[in-house]
Amino acid sequence: MKTLFILRHAKSSWKHLELADHDRPLNKRGKRDAARMGELLREDDLLPDLILSSSAKRAHRTAELLIEAAGFDGELLVNRDLYAHYAEAYLDPLSSLDEHYERVMVIGHNPGLEELLEILTGEWDRLPTAALAQVMLPIQRWSELDDNTQGEVENIWRPKELR
């Protein structure tokens, strides 16, 4: 069994409208929420072995703040393809992972992450910014992961529920 953590990037800033969408930073709440999710992973002993992040500034910064707060010393891979907003963009890099990774986190964007959660579990759930879903996958190798995999939602944490 493998564990997939699905994390939507934290709240971004719209302060500088001249910035391209890819370059939008986190706002104050986003920075706080990203760190809080890192603390939750550390406190609950849920640190992943690997983190895959979208290359968008808000997603990459979410990863950095989470890593710092969690004390994560594993590997962070930043992937431009995860900037896409559809579920299939996440399945390809996940299914090509080495089998030795037991717990993997993906940090990206909606609606793709909500679609990914639904594809992998058969359940739709709302993922607001900085929401974290833990999905248990009935696979032994990441190469077995596809749109027919029927995992189970173990937990979903939303920042507003943690305060």
From the list 50, 110, 108, the residue with the least C-alpha distance to 74 is 50
Cα three-residue angle 97-40-101, rounded to 5 degrees: 15
Domain 2-162 superfamily per CATH: Phosphoglycerate mutase-like (3.40.50.1240)
Boundaries of every domain in the chain: 2-162
The pTM assigned to this predicted structure is: 0.96
Interval 108-117: pLDDT, tens: 999 999 999 9
From the list 3, 30, 34, 37, the residue with the least C-alpha distance to 14 is 30
Cα three-residue angle 114-59-147, rounded to 5 degrees: 30
Interval 52-109: pLDDT, tens: 999 999 999 999 999 999 999 999 999 999 998 789 999 999 999 999 999 999 999 9
Token pair, residue 85, equals 């907003």
Interval 8-64: pLDDT, tens: 999 999 888 888 889 899 999 999 999 999 999 999 999 999 999 999 999 999 999
